């Protein structure tokens, strides 16, 4: 008896419910009836089956046990046939076993494939977020997308992401205020309007110091290295920000019509700012010395340095204090300068300062696009 | 606290400090740059150090160290010293204590 005739006999002998289906391919593998069929990648939602070639039928978990049983059942049915067909019976059993094996492998492959898709999806979402973040920073920093920024984002401490977003807004607002000052001075605005602008400008800087203080508690190293600043700004970095004496050096010569009294006071401010800055720089160096000797304590090369790590972490707490002190110095410098000057002079000074930072950011952006092009 | 007031009144210029504190070092450096030599009392080398710290906080100092006294009066910590200096009001206070080399 040929296997086809066996098949026909089998079809009539077994009960087939409406949802089961039996498939035959040219390469003569006999398939069992299944209640649910799932051929991954080939089933559409409403269950219509488009058999590809070659054709592999997947049997779901529950059914695979049943298929074992039904094969015995099959065997039982086959037992009813004559001796001639027992060889055929063996072949069929073998083929059934091969089919089960193939189905099992197919299930494993499907699982792996789905897992891979899931992982890729997560990775894609991450990349999209990073890109969005980098774009935003590029906007706020004048268009430069730094690869180093993307690299750092993987190690960010909580609170730093929020700081970066807030800082982006801060820069936007600063640019807006700078423009307002420019327009007000051009149109010869009155004392009162200028006073309002000067005060809100000053508050805006003080806001930044406040933001930095919070962020420094989250990640002092991040603030220390000026990671949120554009490259050109970072070139002039001093303890997590701009150098106050540098600020005075840029602004004071540009102030026209300083009275003698003002000149004396400005000179004194320059000197005391320099002295305070100097002292704090040395304090910073002292912290570096302390940290270096803490890290290198004991035998260098020993391989076990857990105690040094604990001690060093304690020393690092001082970093936040130093950062706050530097920002305090910046704030005091700005306040004292504003106190010495008239409202109009202060407005001019703040305009000059605002544009100075704008220019640094523009330079960074140009630098970035230059670097990208040559890459 | 008695000890604190005694030390402050005995010496014109006093800095309560800790040897490992970098801001104490900063204030010290600033004073020497300004031509004065304060009496520095290291709390980590004083067995009563902890008590002195508590007393300084109670007196209203923003941080226990550095705590600066000029002419027996508490001036404050690093912030206060810096603010005074930038506003030009520190030098006049230090005048009586200039060391002439």
Which residue is closest to A274 within chain B, CA to CA?
A: B86
B46 three-class SS: coil
pLDDT tens digits, A2-38: 665 665 555 555 544 444 444 444 444 444 444 444 4
- Give the integer Cα–Cα distance in Å for A241 and A256: 27
What number of residues does chain A have? 375
Is B86 in contact with A322 (Cβ distance < 8 A)? Answer: no
Comparing C-alpha atoms, which of A284, A278, A274, A266 is closest to residue A339? Answer: A266
Per-position DSSP letters for A152-202, written without gaps between them = HHTTPPTTHHHHHHHHHHHHHHHHHHHHHHHHHHHTT--HHHHHHHHHHHH
Q: Does position A117 have pLDDT exceeding 90, yes or no?
A: no
**Mean pLDDT, residues A73-88 taken together:** 58
CA nearest to A327 within chain B: B79
Cβ <8 Å between B82 and A275: no
Contacts of B20-23 with CB under 8 Å at 24 or more apart are B20/A290, B20/A315, B20/B44, B21/A318, B21/B65, B21/B66, B22/A283, B22/A284, B22/A286, B22/A287, B22/A290, B22/A318, B22/A321, B22/A322, B23/A283, B23/A318, B23/A321, B23/A322, B23/A325, B23/B63, B23/B65, B23/B66, B23/B77, B23/B78
Q: Which of residues 82-101 of B touch A (CB under 8 A)?
A: 82-83, 85-88, 90
Encode pLDDT of B30-85 as tens digits.
999 999 999 999 999 999 999 999 999 999 998 999 999 999 999 999 999 999 99
Q: With an 8 Å Cβ cutoff, are A325 and B82 in contact?
A: yes
- Residue B85 has its nearest CB partner, among A276, A286, A315, at A276
- Inter-chain residue contact B82 with A322, CB threshold 8 Å: no
Chain B residue at shortest CA distance from A244: B86
Q: Which residue of A has its CA nearest to B86?
A: A272
Average of per-residue pLDDT across A265-279? 96
The shortest C-alpha distance from B65 to chain A (Å) reads 12
CB within 8 Å of A339: residues ≥ 6 apart: B87
Q: Is the pLDDT of residue B9 over 60?
A: yes
* A200, pLDDT greater than 80: yes
Q: Would you call B80 an interface residue with chain A, using a CB distance cutoff of 8 Å?
A: no
Q: Residue A289: its pLDDT value, please?
A: 95
d(CA A176, CA A178): 5
Nearest to B22 among A269, A322, A328 (CB): A322
Q: Which residues of A touch B90 (CB under 8 A)?
A: 272
The model's pTM: 0.68
């Amino acid at each position: 008896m040929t296997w086809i005739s066996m098949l026909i006999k089998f079809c009539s002998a077994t009960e087939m419910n409406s949802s089961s289906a039996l498939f035959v391919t040219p390469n003569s593998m006999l398939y069992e009836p299944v209640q649910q069929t799932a051929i991954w990648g080939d089933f559409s939602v409403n269950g219509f089956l488009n058999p590809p070639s070659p054709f592999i039928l997947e049997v779901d978990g529950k059914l695979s046990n049943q298929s074992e049983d039904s094969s015995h059942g099959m065997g039982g049915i086959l037992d009813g046939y004559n001796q001639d067909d027992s060889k055929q019976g063996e072949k069929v059993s073998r083929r059934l076993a091969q089919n089960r094996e193939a189905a099992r492998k197919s299930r494993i492959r499907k699982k792996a494939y789905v897992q891979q898709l899931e992982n890729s999806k997560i990775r894609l979402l991450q990349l999209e977020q990073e890109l969005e973040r980098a774009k935003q920073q590029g906007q706020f920093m004048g268009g430069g997308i730094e690869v180093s920024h993307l690299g750092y984002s993987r190690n960010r401490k909580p609170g730093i992401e929020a700081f970066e977003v807030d800082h982006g807004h801060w820069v936007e607002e600063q640019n807006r205020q700078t423009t307002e000052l420019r327009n007000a001075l051009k149109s010869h605005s009155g004392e009162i309007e200028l006073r309002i602008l000067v005060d809100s400008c000053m508050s805006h800087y003080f806001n930044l110091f406040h933001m930095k203080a919070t962020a420094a508690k989250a990640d002092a190293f991040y603030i220390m290295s000026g990671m949120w600043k554009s490259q050109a700004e970072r070139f002039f970095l001093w303890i997590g920000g701009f150098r106050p004496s540098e600020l005075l050096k840029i602004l004071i010569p540009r102030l026209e019509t300083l009275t003698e009294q003002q000149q004396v006071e400005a000179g004194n401010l320059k000197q005391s700012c320099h002295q305070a800055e100097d002292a704090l720089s040395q304090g910073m160096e002292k912290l570096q010395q302390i940290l270096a000797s803490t890290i290198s304590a004991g035998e260098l090369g020993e391989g076990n340095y857990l105690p040094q790590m604990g001690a060093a972490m304690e020393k690092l707490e001082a970093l936040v204090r130093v950062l706050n002190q530097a920002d305090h110095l910046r704030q005091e410098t700005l306040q004292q300068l504003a106190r010495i000057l008239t409202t109009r002079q202060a407005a001019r000074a703040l305009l000059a300062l605002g544009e100075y930072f704008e220019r640094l950011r523009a330079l960074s952006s140009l630098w970035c696009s230059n670097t990208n092009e040559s890459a | 606290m008695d000890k604190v007031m005694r030390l402050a009144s005995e010496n014109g210029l006093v800095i309560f400090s800790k040897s490992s504190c970098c801001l104490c070092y900063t204030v010290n450096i600033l004073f020497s740059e300004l031509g004065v030599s304060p009496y520095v009392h290291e709390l980590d080398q004083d067995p009563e150090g902890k008590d002195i710290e508590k007393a300084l906080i109670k007196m209203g100092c923003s941080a226990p160290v550095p705590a600066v006294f000029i002419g027996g009066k508490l001036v404050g910590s690093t912030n206060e010293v810096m603010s005074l200096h930038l506003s030009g009001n520190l030098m006049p206070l230090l005048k009586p204590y200039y060391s002439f080399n």
